A and B are shown apart, each in its own frame.
Chain A
Amino acid sequence: MATTAIMGYRVERRSTRSPLAWALALILAGACALLVCAGLFIAAGADPWQAFAALLKGGLGSKRAIAETMVKATPLILTGLACTIAFRARLWNIGAEGQVFAGAMFAYWCQSTLGDAPAPIQIAAVIVGALIGGALLGGLAGILKARFQVDEVISTVMLNYIIVYALSLLLQNGPWTEAGSFFEQTAMVPDAAQLPILLAKTRLHLGFLFALIVAAFVHVMLLRSSLGYEIRAAGSNLRALEFQGVKITRLIIVVMAISGAVAGLAGAFEVYGVQHRLKSGTLGGLGYTGIIIAILGQLRPMGVVAAALVFGVLLNGATLMQIKSGVPSALIYAVEAIILMFFLIAWAASEFRLRRLHHVG
């Protein structure tokens, strides 16, 4: 018995989790999150009903609103998937943040060296470049771990800083800086390289469809492929895999590279689908939010898509919420965090139970 008792109570892991208890916990967590958010809105001097209504209307109220929600969800689906792939193998890749930048930068380099190529070739260059750029940075952390036993949490966080500042360097009167511009940004990318718009009069671009395809691909990869089998096995018992002669070092590097490649797509899609130029700053936070998305999605690709869409609603609706009720749109990040916290509490509540210890009679 290795459990410790605190104030007469002991935390025990349940042997099985009942789906009913899980559903109940989730509903309760949702209600609690709403309550706390309402309190937050009141503190910000707004009517919570009005704020929530505006949030929903802004996120889902019209065809355009829904399209914009999908735009916001696109990079989060990809970074959420990137984290899912690594986390399933118990590799704590905190580097999706940097891998987003690496993907965007490598895609920009590939596309811009092409010059005046036809659109399909330019877009292919963007996608391939994004995959390679993300894979290089993720794979580097993988090599550091596999060959030199450098903890991936440390290396990925450090690489995040390196890559973000490297981009700044390139954009601050550097080779990529837009001629005559005061801002840290490149010139607009050519029309031929921009991702096609899927729905007229909206910003919904090809990247969203692509992200869904990647999600389906990751789903099949994890559940059915030999590589997915090894990823899941590594997440459960790495030693048993080692005993079967599976090359663990290779597996670590491959998983980190694939995780990085998927995150890299998120960066390139933001640049070529939404911003249409590479700026320092606008890509920040996508990778870290991906960690939250992966956890909310329970490390399942379909869950990740759902969680990313919910966050898309929040991010997109925040603007209308600010206009209509005066709640600062930045408060939406607090809402995100509140959702995560209550979700984790719900998870713990359904996985563990508190048992009261009897006292001596």
Chain B
Amino acid sequence: MNMPVSPAHADATTPRLHVQRLTKRFGALVANDAVSLTVMPGELHCLLGENGAGKSTLSSCLYGLYRPDEGDIYVDGREMRFASPADAIAAGIGMVHQHFVLVPTFTVLENIIVGTGSGWRLPAAEARRKVEAICQRLSLSLDLDAEVGDLSVGQQQWVEIVKALYLGARLLILDEPTAVLTPQESALLFASLRKMLADGLSVILISHKMNEVLQADRVTVLRRGRVVGSVRTADSSRHELTTMMVGRALSIVDAGERSHGGGTILSVKNVSLRDARGVSLLRDVSLDFRAGEIVGLAGIAGNGQRELFEAICGLRPIDAGEITLDGQRLDSCNPHEIYRMGVGHVPEDRFKDGLVPDFSIAENLVLGDHREKPWRHGLTLDVGRLRQAANEAIKNFSIACNGAEAVVRRLSGGNAQKVILARELARASRVLLCNQPTRGLDVGVIEYVHRQILEKRDAGAAILLASEELEDLIAFCDRIAVIFRGEIMAVLPGRQADIAEIGRLMAGGTDARAADKGMSN
């Protein structure tokens, strides 16, 4: 077994990685301002920070994608200057990006060894032995001859990790590795990470999920490009870390008591949907949405969440079943008509689905309603009224921008999401559909989005909320529907839902209680 071993000249007291006052500027923006960081061999080190805090810039500098303007990087005590990722890999640094860089039509083994051979020969046989050894050490069952395109997202991530280890990584950088995993897969990942750490590997984990952050040995918190502090996890707390990250203490949004479970507003009955090739995207989905109630939708990305939202909004024709709003069938309505009936839709991908990036805030706020009163003034748009409405929205939603004419392309993700919220909340008198409304947002904005959704619930709207943050779903939802391969596996009561149970259902497991019954019989 040849797992990564520290080179002879380094001992346990030499840091695996030492970053000394690293500064990286992009024009006037200082993305990393004199950042220092020390990672010891065998240490799990978490980089914590909001969006734009400089985590990605720092990891890009460490992996040779960017060249720092100032500062030094030492690996195992030696000063390094990386001109490209190839240099970083040669120095023993591996990185698993959020978006994998694998060739889907290659096998697992081919993906691992691609680019490693010298000359014409691919070192397939020795490579296979080496990769098998790595998998064995991690108790990983990975079919080396399977095509990567056929693997689940979680398995693909393992391919990336094994590839980094195969290339001799002694320091592994993982960029939000659990974003695509079920709770069970995440637990497995951390268990395996522990084994690798025991072998002397160092890991830098980029994350903003507190339960993961707390599993690290050490946490370095970045804010606006600067290191706010570096603490041992054992000496810190969730509250302290959050405060460091955000720069102020956050109040916890309390979902409060459920106001009322009113009558059914939106009803999805036996809806099925296939794509052009006949692959089932939704199978016999039935869900009722009541006034003043939040229904959560849990599932691994790509299991039919998007299709369910689009079916309700009339963006995708359904093959079977019916969708009714206040008793009226929606299947023959176009999206615009459905929104006019009091439906707001916060789509999954804010910049691709929800906004026109080259338009101003004012123009984006009337997207879809631009042919309707009061925005239309004869044949033209009423520019004055548009600007006035935009100024109101900017004030009410505290959108940070240079005014109503600011181009949306230049806004941060959080402010862009606020523009969509301003538009969709105004429409959502009956139903609010939110698909991953807080993904990639800063903690402060997430808190704000949650408050807005709860306010809408209290105003009596029926709400569908899909999120990858299961803790959020449990905190806010009255019921949680778990979706797997287009099928609703179970609908669980919200507040008492067990995260492990949701996780198993997300992976396609059968309902836990039904299974228990089967055992006792």
Segment of B234-242, B373-381, B481-489 engaged in the interface with chain A: B373-381
Closest Cβ of chain A to B389, distance in Å, is: 15
For A160-193 the 0/1 string (1 means CB < 8 A from B) is 0000000000000000000000000000000000
Residues of A within 8 A of B65 (CB): 1
Residues of A within 8 A of B24 (CB): none
Question: Is A244 a contact partner of B368 (Cβ separation < 8 A)?
Answer: yes
The yes or no answer to A357 lying at the interface (CB within 8 A) is yes
Question: Is A359 a contact partner of B335 (Cβ separation < 8 A)?
Answer: no
Residues of A within 8 A of B345 (CB): 243
Partner of B336, one of A232, A237, A244, A360: A244
Residues of B within 8 A of A15 (CB): 27
For A229-251 the 0/1 string (1 means CB < 8 A from B) is 11011011101111111110000
Bound CA span A232–B345, Å: 22
For B275-295 the 0/1 string (1 means CB < 8 A from A) is 000000000000000000000
The yes or no answer to B337 lying at the interface (CB within 8 A) is yes
Chain A residues numbered 202-232 whose CB sits less than 8 Å from any CB in chain B: 220, 224-226, 229-230, 232
Question: Is B337 a contact partner of A243 (Cβ separation < 8 A)?
Answer: no
Residues of A within 8 A of B314 (CB): 245
Residues of B within 8 A of A247 (CB): 334
| A224-B383, A237-B352 known; A229+B363 contact, CB < 8 A | yes
Partner of A245, one of B81, B337, B354, B380: B337
Question: Is B367 a contact partner of A361 (Cβ separation < 8 A)?
Answer: no
For B323-351 the 0/1 string (1 means CB < 8 A from A) is 00000000000111111000001010001
Question: Is A226 a contact partner of B67 (Cβ separation < 8 A)?
Answer: no
Question: Is B347 a contact partner of A243 (Cβ separation < 8 A)?
Answer: yes
Closest Cβ of chain B to A239, distance in Å, is: 6
The yes or no answer to B355 lying at the interface (CB within 8 A) is yes
| A224-B381, A236-B359, A242-B315 known; A361+B354 contact, CB < 8 A | no
Residue of A nearest to B310 (CB): A243
Closest Cβ of chain A to B428, distance in Å, is: 14
Bound CA span A233–B380, Å: 15
Bound CA span A104–B413, Å: 51
Closest Cβ of chain A to B402, distance in Å, is: 12
For B378-391 the 0/1 string (1 means CB < 8 A from A) is 01110100000000
The yes or no answer to A358 lying at the interface (CB within 8 A) is yes
Bound CA span A138–B293, Å: 51
The yes or no answer to B37 lying at the interface (CB within 8 A) is no
Question: Is A236 a contact partner of B315 (Cβ separation < 8 A)?
Answer: no
Residue of A nearest to B375 (CB): A226
Closest Cβ of chain A to B427, distance in Å, is: 11
Question: Is A232 a contact partner of B354 (Cβ separation < 8 A)?
Answer: no
Closest Cβ of chain B to A90, distance in Å, is: 11
The yes or no answer to B403 lying at the interface (CB within 8 A) is no
| A229-B363, A237-B355, A360-B83 known; A243+B315 contact, CB < 8 A | yes
Question: Is B27 a contact partner of A359 (Cβ separation < 8 A)?
Answer: no
Residues of B within 8 A of A1 (CB): 60, 65-66
- Specify which of A226, A236, A240, A357 lies most central, judged by the most chain B CB atoms within 10 Å of its CB: A240
Partner of B338, one of A220, A240, A241, A245: A245
| A15-B27, A243-B347, A361-B81 known; A225+B379 contact, CB < 8 A | yes
Question: Is B352 a contact partner of A240 (Cβ separation < 8 A)?
Answer: yes
**Count class of interface residues, chain A:** 20 to 34
Bound CA span A239–B351, Å: 10
Question: Is B368 a contact partner of A246 (Cβ separation < 8 A)?
Answer: yes
Main secondary structure of the interface of B (DSSP, over half): loop
Residue of A nearest to B83 (CB): A360
Bound CA span A233–B355, Å: 9
Bound CA span A242–B367, Å: 10
For B19-35 the 0/1 string (1 means CB < 8 A from A) is 00000000100000000
Chain B residues numbered 377-411 whose CB sits less than 8 Å from any CB in chain A: 379-381, 383
Partner of B370, one of A220, A229, A361: A229
Bound CA span A196–B405, Å: 44
Chain A residues numbered 13-37 whose CB sits less than 8 Å from any CB in chain B: 15
For B474-503 the 0/1 string (1 means CB < 8 A from A) is 000000000000000000000000000000
Question: Is A230 a contact partner of B334 (Cβ separation < 8 A)?
Answer: no
Bound CA span A242–B314, Å: 11
Residue of B nearest to A1 (CB): B65
Question: Is A357 a contact partner of B67 (Cβ separation < 8 A)?
Answer: yes
The yes or no answer to B87 lying at the interface (CB within 8 A) is yes
Residues of B within 8 A of A229 (CB): 363, 370, 381
Closest Cβ of chain B to A348, distance in Å, is: 19
Residues of A within 8 A of B370 (CB): 226, 229-230
Bound CA span A1–B345, Å: 32
Closest Cβ of chain B to A232, distance in Å, is: 7
Question: Is A245 a contact partner of B336 (Cβ separation < 8 A)?
Answer: yes
Bound CA span A181–B323, Å: 70
Question: Is B381 a contact partner of A226 (Cβ separation < 8 A)?
Answer: yes
Bound CA span A233–B351, Å: 13
Residues of B within 8 A of A233 (CB): 356, 359, 363, 367
Bound CA span A239–B383, Å: 24
Bound CA span A86–B372, Å: 24
- Specify which of B65, B337, B371, B380 lies most central, judged by the most chain A CB atoms within 10 Å of its CB: B380
For B83-111 the 0/1 string (1 means CB < 8 A from A) is 10001000000000000000000000000
| A224-B383, A226-B381, A229-B381 known; A244+B358 contact, CB < 8 A | no
Residues of A within 8 A of B351 (CB): 237
Question: Is B353 a contact partner of A239 (Cβ separation < 8 A)?
Answer: yes
Residues of B within 8 A of A360 (CB): 81-83, 87
Residue of A nearest to B68 (CB): A358
Question: Is A226 a contact partner of B368 (Cβ separation < 8 A)?
Answer: no
Residues of B within 8 A of A230 (CB): 370
Residue of B nearest to A16 (CB): B410
Bound CA span A237–B353, Å: 8
Question: Is A239 a contact partner of B352 (Cβ separation < 8 A)?
Answer: yes
Chain B residues numbered 54-69 whose CB sits less than 8 Å from any CB in chain A: 60, 65-67
Residue of A nearest to B409 (CB): A236
Residues of A within 8 A of B334 (CB): 245, 247
Residues of A within 8 A of B347 (CB): 243
Bound CA span A225–B379, Å: 6
Residues of B within 8 A of A240 (CB): 352-356, 367
The yes or no answer to B357 lying at the interface (CB within 8 A) is yes
Residues of B within 8 A of A232 (CB): 356, 358-359
Closest Cβ of chain B to A102, distance in Å, is: 27
Residues of B within 8 A of A246 (CB): 336, 368
Partner of B368, one of A220, A245, A357, A358: A245
Bound CA span A242–B368, Å: 9
Question: Is B368 a contact partner of A225 (Cβ separation < 8 A)?
Answer: no
Residue of A nearest to B63 (CB): A1
Residues of A within 8 A of B355 (CB): 237, 240
Bound CA span A361–B70, Å: 13
Question: Is A226 a contact partner of B376 (Cβ separation < 8 A)?
Answer: yes
Residue of A nearest to B376 (CB): A226
Partner of B335, one of A225, A239, A244: A244
| A224-B381, A225-B379, A229-B381 known; A357+B83 contact, CB < 8 A | yes
Closest 6 CB pairs of A and B: A244-B368, A245-B336, A245-B335, A236-B358, A224-B380, A360-B83
B residues contacting A by CB (< 8 A) are 27, 60, 65-67, 81-83, 87, 313-315, 334-339, 345, 347, 351-359, 363, 367-368, 370-371, 376, 379-381, 383
A residues contacting B by CB (< 8 A) are 1, 15, 220, 224-226, 229-230, 232-233, 235-237, 239-247, 357-361
* A-B pairs with beta carbons under 8 Å apart, 6 shown: A237-B356, A240-B352, A240-B356, A247-B334, A360-B82, A361-B81
Q: Knowing that A233-B363, A240-B355, A245-B335 touch, tell me 19 more A-B residue pairs with CB under 8 angstroms.
A: A1-B65, A224-B383, A229-B363, A233-B356, A233-B367, A236-B356, A237-B355, A237-B356, A243-B313, A244-B339, A245-B338, A245-B339, A245-B368, A246-B368, A357-B67, A357-B83, A358-B67, A360-B83, A361-B81
